[in-house]
Amino acid sequence: MAHYDEAGTPYARHDAQNDRAARERMFAYSNGDPTVPVIVVDGRYVQSGWGSPPRG
């Protein structure tokens, strides 16, 4: 989150661990990949995890 905070980029956090609906949305975006975070921009899946290559 620090990356987005420093860049001034707004974002929303969803608790996929404790919120079943959020978890189902996460898996729908990531095609079942459990790596977090799942990064979605304007409704389009970008990647799971941070960095290049992505890691959770």
The whole-number pLDDT of residue 56 equals 61
Q: Are 14 and 25 in contact (CB under 8 A)?
A: yes
Which residues share a beta bridge with 26? none
Within the chain, residue ranges assigned H as helices are 2-7, 20-30
Please state whether beta strands 44-48 and 38-41 pair in parallel, antiparallel, or not at all (unpaired): antiparallel
- Map out the domains of the chain as residue ranges: 2-48
Can you read off the two tokens belonging to residue 24?
Answer: 């189902």
Q: Are 26 and 36 in contact (CB under 8 A)?
A: yes
The whole-number pLDDT of residue 54 equals 66
The whole-number pLDDT of residue 50 equals 84
Over the stretch 1-56, which tens digit does the pLDDT of each residue have? Answer: 788 899 999 999 999 999 999 999 999 999 999 999 999 999 999 999 887 776 66
The whole-number pLDDT of residue 53 equals 72
The whole-number pLDDT of residue 21 equals 97
